[in-house]
Chains A and B, each alone.
Chain A
Amino acid sequence: MQLLHDIFFTLLLTIRDVIPILAILLGFQLLVLKRPIPNLKRTITGFIYVLLGLGLFLVGLDKALFPLGKLMAQQLTNPEFIQQGLHSVSGILQWQDYLWVYLFAAAIGFATTVAEPSLIAVAIKAQAVSGGAISTWGLRLAVAVGVSLGIALGTFRIVTGTPLHFYIVAGYIVIIIQTMFAPRLIIALAYDSGGVTTSTVTVPLVTALGLGLASTVPGRSALIDGFGLIAFASLFPMITVMGYAQIVQWREKRAGSQHGKDKIENDS
């Protein structure tokens, strides 16, 4: 009964969040473009699926993933747990002692990104538009690797307390250099993949990890040092997606097979 209540309540919240979007779409379609909605019945069914799907998805995350994930983030960052595997004799925690935290950050970053619905949406679109040159899984894995690297480095930053903007500016420089060499076809998509990764599944867990870490590492403030993980998670996918395209291009060049290259050039 509690479950049904939760589902119903979350569904109402989802509808409330989607209503402004729906109002804008309908308002412009009917009043400005003065056109009927194409395939009205199918579109309405689609919207109902989206609302219902998102509602169930959120309730499920709240029931299954978030409590456990947040608990694990707390336990892994707990000084008592870290003390167990201590390397230094002095009893003062060094950045190396947080190895499990970095590994957890990398693993959970990868796993939540694979399940991120908005990334799936962009990947489906990219595959359709590129005529299959960019596969949904290739893109999603490239982005997931990026988020994984980004969040691991972000937790390292919180532990060491180095300023956030050094990392971000360094990341920007790498992106600008990559932009000069990456295939033109991929650039806009790579930039987009930074923003889509951090959504429904990733943000709550990563935020819990950041706040947990910042509140237990000595000398860090949860309010100031706890932020910044999302920024890492949005930055690194751009690097890995362009990197993925560069590797594909390089391998095709090396193999000397004109076939794949022609395909990309024909599409652009």
Chain B
Amino acid sequence: MKQARKGILVPIQNSIRDLLPIILVIAFFQYAVLKQPIPNLGEILTGAVLVILGLTLFIRGLEIGLFPIGEAMAYGFARKGSLAWLIIFAFALGFGTTIAEPALIAVADEAADVAALGGMIENSGDSRYSYALGLRITVALSVGIAIVVGVIRIIKGWPIHYLIITGYVGVVVMTTFAPKEIIGIAYDSGGVTTSTVTVPLVTALGVGLASSIKGRNPMTDGFGLIAFASLTPMIFVMAYGMVI
């Protein structure tokens, strides 16, 4: 009984500790700098309780659901030994998780507004919609390709920094050619593509693959998939800005 209570209490304590810095920052700036009371304190406390509960459940679910399935699939593909299917899976995972990503939808809509304002596209609802949709597909394609390249890297055991530095050169070269208005959005798009569900899955996939292939180290080879997924969208979005 005591054990069971401990099993719930400790994760909740951890979540409270994770959230504490935000509470302190907000309280300090609200009371000491802006010198205002916190509005709707009751609602905010309810929200904080929900955040703590949600974080606790999520972390638990991660440990018993997302991580094991990601790793099981990595082992499954390693045992099957079919590179083609692994690549198709990697692409589907990258593309499928990005195309519906809410943060990306928001950024794509903002990008369409910028493009309309800058006169790059016609300022009408239709053209803005197709611009935003095109951008989403572009980013999703780039993440799909990124995961494929990352998976091939794990299998071949290429050192990650050569690929990443090549990517950086690509970003810098594209920056000199891309329209000025798109650059900020392109740089930001790298950060928004990787969602809270995708990151644990993709990490488990990479680490699982690296552990199941002989000669690969899960630490040096298993990580890095997210890095590719944050880099390629920048290049692709700038290319999109140049083409449209």
Contacts and interface: CB of A to CB of B under 8 A. Distances in A.
Interface residues of A, number: 107
Interface of B: 18-19, 21-22, 24-26, 28-30, 33-34, 36, 38-40, 43-69, 72-73, 76-77, 80, 85, 89, 92-93, 96-97, 99-103, 110, 113-114, 117, 160-161, 164-165, 168, 171-172, 175, 180-181, 183-185, 187-188, 190-201, 203-204, 207, 217-227, 229-230
A225 B199 CA distance: 29
A110 B21 contact: yes
Interface string A48-76: 11111111111111111101110110011
A184 B100 CA distance: 35
18 contacts: A28-B92, A29-B72, A46-B65, A51-B61, A54-B197, A64-B44, A65-B51, A111-B22, A112-B22, A115-B21, A121-B199, A124-B63, A169-B172, A191-B164, A192-B225, A194-B230, A198-B191, A230-B191
A258 B243 CA distance: 56
Given A111-B21, A192-B226, A267 B61 contact: no
B188 A231 contact: yes
A142 interface: no
Contact of B26 (A49, A57, A68): A68
Contact of B161 (A33, A35, A179): A179
Contacts of B45: 64
A210 to B, nearest CB: 9
Given A81-B34, A199-B195, A55 B54 contact: yes
Contact of A63 (B50, B114, B183, B223): B50
Contacts of B24: 111
A211 to B, nearest CB: 9
Contact of B62 (A63, A121, A165, A187): A121
A213 to B, nearest CB: 13
Contacts of B72: 29, 37-38
